[in-house]
């Protein structure tokens, strides 16, 4: 067959796409391009994960009888030249990458190499581009909750005829608990020793300038490993997923999260397969409550699909959006972890160790602080892109720039910002911190507090009329009347002048 599936490093599956339709013995192309890995100080575990998973997939396809052409090159362009020199008859067929501009780039590179390329729908999502666009009907802003309900109806997941199972679409109000002290987080699956991972990890360490720990790469790199992770989650962790979804505990980096984003984002698990497995677990097991199952399904069927389409609809503007005109640079401690703010130090430590921190650490610690500090969204986006094992431009950009920093307004209706109060309520970080979460100014006051009030005062012209901010601005007014804003502003000036000592 002249059609040769070209499998991208984030599409590692033979269960859908052109590869699923290729006959036995067909040629298959995989390209390990190393140049991109030099563009940012990527986490060591991220590069190891992607390269090791590609190498394992190459071996899997060879064992299954495919004629695998596996090219290592500095750039895609170099590899495509090599490929078409040897296979001038071939037409490459690939699933569209969700990354903005990649289709045009690949078309140009293939044309430069004198070859042909066909790009088809990406089947690694639950919804299609056409379906979303029909649903959106030309709208320019989108509401997640409406999209999610539509996805539930269309897919029939957790539906009872026309109605949601249990009579409610959303159980978020039951998913905001902090666990009692005696609660023990269910175990995370431990990494399986894998010789390809070990070899790849050593090669990555000696070849690239990486960030993050080079020890204990814990992410599965095969289909079987990813399935084991899913089973482990369903069995041990899903029951506690719901209630403690938003909680942060120093000794439990994993809490009861699924830890599946890294493998879903490279194609080792299909999101619909995870969704169905969670739904089945809810129907079959008393231990799995509806708020846990629905909470997890909402992330995958709702948020993951939603951000992918929002990204598509708002790029290229989204990547450089900055409606709050934030221009500060990212404090160095995001890279070094050296800060006395315990919530940030612990969370950055988690990211350094494993390329992972859970959703609330990302949103309410890392992005919250950066938003209050006024960090330019593009720079924070780049930091997330480099440091997380599950980070790709299509998923970080809407999450960081929009959800985290309220830089565009395409779906966020207000900034997700908070003072120390939120971190104190949802974590145990404050007890071990050198700062006092109850103080706003003065020696030892938690920086989140003054920064929070200063952020609101600074952005008053842009945010005050937002009805969802009304309560917050009534507190700003009270502080202004009490004459506190000046001291707050001075405290913030001080923090900025001494950022390396914060
Ligand atoms: P769980 O909490 O167990 O959730 C289950 C699954 O739902 C995840 O595996 C993931 O596939 C999906 N999911 C949940 N929330 C989202 C979301 N908002 N967007 C897309 N998918 C979601 N997710 C990434 O995959 N890559 C990123 O680079 C990324 N960067 C983020 C940056 C910020 C500032 C924020 C606020 C969120 C980011 N997210 C990102 C979304 C979310 O935080 C992660 O998907 C999640 O924490 C991954 O851990 P988990 O697999 O244990 O997820
Ligand atoms: Fe973070 Fe402030 Fe709590 Fe310290 S006191 S852990 S800086 S919120």
User: What is the reported pLDDT for 156?
Assistant: 98
Angle at 272 between CA 263 and CA 367, to 5 degrees: 55
Residue from 386, 340, 389, 346 nearest 366 by CA:
346
CATH code for position 383: 1.10.579.10
Residue 174 in this model has a pLDDT that exceeds 90 = no
Q: Are 317 and 201 spatial neighbours (Cβ–Cβ below 8 Å)?
A: no
pLDDT, mean of residues 48-77: 98
For residue 388, give the ligand nearest its CA. Answer: 1
Residue 282 maps to a domain: yes
Residue from 274, 32, 19 nearest 122 by CA:
19
- Cα of 348 to ligand 1 centre, how many Å? 16
Residue 1 in this model has a pLDDT that exceeds 80 = no
**Do residues 280 and 381 both lie within one domain?**
no
**Do residues 159 and 227 both lie within one domain?**
yes
Residue 20 in this model has a pLDDT that exceeds 90 = yes
Q: How confident is the model at residue 286 (pLDDT cuts 50, 70, 90)?
A: very high
Residue ID of nearest Cα to ligand 1 atom 24: 390
**Do residues 24 and 100 both lie within one domain?**
yes
**Do residues 285 and 154 both lie within one domain?**
yes
Taking the CA of residue 423 as reference, the ligand 2 atom at the shortest distance is: 8
CA dihedral 365, 229, 40, 327 (to 10 degrees): -20
- Rounded to whole angstroms, the Cα distance separating 15 from 267 reads 10
User: What is the reported pLDDT for 70?
Assistant: 98
Q: How confident is the model at residue 76 (pLDDT cuts 50, 70, 90)?
A: very high
User: What is the reported pLDDT for 192?
Assistant: 84
**Binding site membership of 448 for ligand 2 (Cβ less than 6 Å):** yes
For residue 262, give the ligand nearest its CA. Answer: 1
pLDDT, mean of residues 175-199: 92
Tokens encoding 424:
């104190």
**Binding site membership of 365 for ligand 2 (Cβ less than 6 Å):** no
User: What is the reported pLDDT for 271?
Assistant: 98
Query: Which tens digit of pLDDT belongs to each residue from 205-255?
Result: 999 999 999 999 999 999 999 999 999 999 999 999 999 999 999 999 999
**Binding site membership of 248 for ligand 2 (Cβ less than 6 Å):** no
Percent of the chain with pLDDT over 70: 100
User: Does this model's pTM top 0.95?
Assistant: yes
**Binding site membership of 341 for ligand 2 (Cβ less than 6 Å):** yes
**Binding site membership of 275 for ligand 1 (Cβ less than 6 Å):** no
**Do residues 375 and 469 both lie within one domain?**
yes
Could you tell me which residues are beta bridge partners of residue 163? 160
Residue ID of nearest Cα to ligand 1 atom 43: 359
**Do residues 420 and 486 both lie within one domain?**
yes
Helices (H) and strands (E) in the chain, counts: 25, 7
Query: Which tens digit of pLDDT belongs to each residue from 444-483?
Result: 999 999 999 999 999 999 999 999 999 999 999 999 999 9
**Binding site membership of 412 for ligand 1 (Cβ less than 6 Å):** no
Final residue of a domain: which of 287, 314, 341? 314
Q: How confident is the model at residue 269 (pLDDT cuts 50, 70, 90)?
A: very high
- Rounded to whole angstroms, the Cα distance separating 152 from 166 reads 13
What is the best residue among 43, 264, 399 to mutate for testing ligand 1's pocket, by most ligand atoms within 8 Å of CB? Answer: 399
Q: Are 267 and 10 spatial neighbours (Cβ–Cβ below 8 Å)?
A: yes
CATH code for position 269: 1.25.40.80
Chain length of the chain: 502
DSSP 469: G
Final residue of a domain: which of 74, 94, 120? 120
**Binding site membership of 260 for ligand 1 (Cβ less than 6 Å):** yes
**Do residues 215 and 306 both lie within one domain?**
yes
**Binding site membership of 348 for ligand 2 (Cβ less than 6 Å):** no
Residue ID of nearest Cα to ligand 1 atom 28: 391
Element (H, E) at 367: none
pLDDT, mean of residues 405-420: 97
Residue ID of nearest Cα to ligand 2 atom 8: 420
Residue from 218, 460, 183, 187 nearest 356 by CA:
218
User: What is the reported pLDDT for 175?
Assistant: 86
**Do residues 174 and 298 both lie within one domain?**
yes
- Rounded to whole angstroms, the Cα distance separating 12 from 68 reads 13
User: What is the reported pLDDT for 179?
Assistant: 95
For residue 248, give the ligand nearest its CA. Answer: 2
Taking the CA of residue 260 as reference, the ligand 1 atom at the shortest distance is: 51
DSSP symbols for 306-343: HHHHHHHHHTTHHHH--TT---BPPPTHHHH---S-HH
- Cα of 381 to ligand 2 centre, how many Å? 23
- Average pLDDT of the chain is 97
User: What is the reported pLDDT for 394?
Assistant: 98
Residue 422 maps to a domain: yes
DSSP 94: E
Q: Are 119 and 94 spatial neighbours (Cβ–Cβ below 8 Å)?
A: yes
Cα 163 to Cα 157, 166, 379, 454, 480: the distances in Å are 11, 8, 43, 45, 48
User: What is the reported pLDDT for 500?
Assistant: 95
**Do residues 291 and 346 both lie within one domain?**
no
**Binding site membership of 384 for ligand 1 (Cβ less than 6 Å):** yes
Taking the CA of residue 390 as reference, the ligand 1 atom at the shortest distance is: 26
**Binding site membership of 109 for ligand 2 (Cβ less than 6 Å):** no
Final residue of a domain: which of 89, 120, 151? 120
Taking the CA of residue 341 as reference, the ligand 2 atom at the shortest distance is: 7
- Rounded to whole angstroms, the Cα distance separating 395 from 317 reads 15
**Do residues 83 and 138 both lie within one domain?**
no
- 3-state class (DSSP) for residue 269: coil
Residue 42 maps to a domain: yes
Q: Tell me, what's the ipTM? A: 0.99
User: What is the reported pLDDT for 375?
Assistant: 98
Query: Which tens digit of pLDDT belongs to each residue from 121-163?
Result: 999 999 999 999 999 999 999 999 999 999 999 999 999 999 9
Continuous H helices in 173-316: 195-207, 223-232, 238-241, 261-264, 271-284, 290-297, 305-314
Number of domains in the chain: 3
- Rounded to whole angstroms, the Cα distance separating 306 from 299 reads 9
Residue 327 maps to a domain: no
SS3 content of the chain, % helix, strand, coil (to 5): 55, 10, 40
**Do residues 103 and 133 both lie within one domain?**
no
Residue 12 maps to a domain: yes
CATH code for position 43: 3.40.50.620
**Binding site membership of 395 for ligand 1 (Cβ less than 6 Å):** yes
The range of the structural domain enclosing residue 415 comes to 333-501
**Do residues 154 and 106 both lie within one domain?**
no
Query: Which tens digit of pLDDT belongs to each residue from 348-391?
Result: 999 999 999 999 999 999 999 999 999 999 999 999 999 999 99
- Rounded to whole angstroms, the Cα distance separating 102 from 119 reads 11
User: What is the reported pLDDT for 172?
Assistant: 87
Q: In degrees rounded to 5, what are phi and psi of residue 189? A: -65, 140
Residue 407 maps to a domain: yes
Residue 9 maps to a domain: yes
For residue 311, give the ligand nearest its CA. Answer: 1
Residue 323 maps to a domain: no
**Binding site membership of 433 for ligand 2 (Cβ less than 6 Å):** yes
**Binding site membership of 396 for ligand 1 (Cβ less than 6 Å):** yes
**Binding site membership of 394 for ligand 1 (Cβ less than 6 Å):** no
**Binding site membership of 420 for ligand 2 (Cβ less than 6 Å):** yes
pLDDT, mean of residues 320-330: 98
Cα 279 to its chain centre, rounded Å, is 22
- Cα of 259 to ligand 1 centre, how many Å? 9
> Exposed e or buried b for every residue in 385-407, given b needs 16+ CB within 10 A?
bbbbbbbbbbbbbbbbbbbbbbb
């Amino acid at each position: 067959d002249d059609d040769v599936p070209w499998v991208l490093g984030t599409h590692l599956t033979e269960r859908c796409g052109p590869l699923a339709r290729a006959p036995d013995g067909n040629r298959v192309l995989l390209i390990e391009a190393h140049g991109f890995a030099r563009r940012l100080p990527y986490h060591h575990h991220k590069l190891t994960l992607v390269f090791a998973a590609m190498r394992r997939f190459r071996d899997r396809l060879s064992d299954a009888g495919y004629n695998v052409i596996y090219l290592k090159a500095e750039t895609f362009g170099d590899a495509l030249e090599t490929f078409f020199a040897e296979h001038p008859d071939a037409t490459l067929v690939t699933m569209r990458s969700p990354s903005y501009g990649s289709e045009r780039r690949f078309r140009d590179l293939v044309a430069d190499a004198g070859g042909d390329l066909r790009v088809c729908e990406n089947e690694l999502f639950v919804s299609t581009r056409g379906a979303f666009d029909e649903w959106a009907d030309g709208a320019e802003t989108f509401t997640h909750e409406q999209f999610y309900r539509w996805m539930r109806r269309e897919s029939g997941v957790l539906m009872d005829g026309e109605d949601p199972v249990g009579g409610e679409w959303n159980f978020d109000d039951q998913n905001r608990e902090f666990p009692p002290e005696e609660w023990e987080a269910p175990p995370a699956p431990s990494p399986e020793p894998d010789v390809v991972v070990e070899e790849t990890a050593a090669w990555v360490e000696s070849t690239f300038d990486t960030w993050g720990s080079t020890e204990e790469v814990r992410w599965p790199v095969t289909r079987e490993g990813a399935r084991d992770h899913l089973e482990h989650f369903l069995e041990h962790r899903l029951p506690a997923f719901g209630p403690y979804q938003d909680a942060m505990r120093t000794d439990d980096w994993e809490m009861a999260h699924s830890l599946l984003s890294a493998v879903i984002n490279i194609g080792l698990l299909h999101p619909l397969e995870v969704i169905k497995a969670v739904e089945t677990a809810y129907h079959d097991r008393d231990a799995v409550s509806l708020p846990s199952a629905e909470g997890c399904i909402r992330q995958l069927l709702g948020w993951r699909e939603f951000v992918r389409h929002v990204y598509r609809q708002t790029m290229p503007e989204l990547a450089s959006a900055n409606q709050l005109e934030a221009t500060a640079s990212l404090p160095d401690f995001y890279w070094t972890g050296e800060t006395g703010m315990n919530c940030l130090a612990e969370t950055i430590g988690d990211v350094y160790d494993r390329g992972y921190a859970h959703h609330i650490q990302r949103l309410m610690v890392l992005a919250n602080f950066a938003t209050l500090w006024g960090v330019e969204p593009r720079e924070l986006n780049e930091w997330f892109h480099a440091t997380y094992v599950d980070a790709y431009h299509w998923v970080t950009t809407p999450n960081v720039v929009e959800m985290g920093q309220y830089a565009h307004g395409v779906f966020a209706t207000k900034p997700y910002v908070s003072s120390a109060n939120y971190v104190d309520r949802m974590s145990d970080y404050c007890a071990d911190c050198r700062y006092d979460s109850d103080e706003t100014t003065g020696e030892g006051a938690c920086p989140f507090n003054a920064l929070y009030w200063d952020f609101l005062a600074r952005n008053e012209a842009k945010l005050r009329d937002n009805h969802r901010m009304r309560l917050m601005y009534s507190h700003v007014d009270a502080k202004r009347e009490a004459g506190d804003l000046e001291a707050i502003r001075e405290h913030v000036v001080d923090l900025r002048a001494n950022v390396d000592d914060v």
